[in-house]
Structure 1
Amino acid sequence: MTLIDRVNGLLRRVPVWAVYVVCMAGAPWLFWQGISGGLGPEPVKGLERELGELALKFLVAGLAITPLRRLVGLNLMKFRRAVGLITFYYVCCHLLVWAVLDLQVLGQLWSEIVKRPYIAVGMAAFVLMVPLAVTSNNASVRRLGAKWRTLHRLVYPAAILGGVHYLMLAKGFRLEPLVYLAIIVALLLIRLPVRRWIRVGA
Structure 2
Amino acid sequence: MSNKKIDIEEQIIKKSFNLFLVNGYEKTTIRQIADSVGIGRGHLYYYFKKKEDILLFIYKTILNKIYELISNHRMNDSELLLNYAVTQCLYTYTIVRYEKLFRIYIEASKVPVIRKEYVNLLIELFEKKALETHYNVKEKDIYISVAVGCAGEEELLRRYYNKEIGLDIEDIIKSVLLTRLFLLDIIDKKEVYEIVDNAIDIANNLNIDELLESFDIFLNKV
Relative to total residues, which structure has the larger helix share, 1 or 2? 1
Query: Is the structural similarity TM-score above 0.5?
Result: no
TM-score range, shorter chain: 0.3 to 0.5
Task: Tell me: higher relative CO, structure 1 or 2? Use CA pairs within 8 A at least 6 residues apart.
Answer: 2
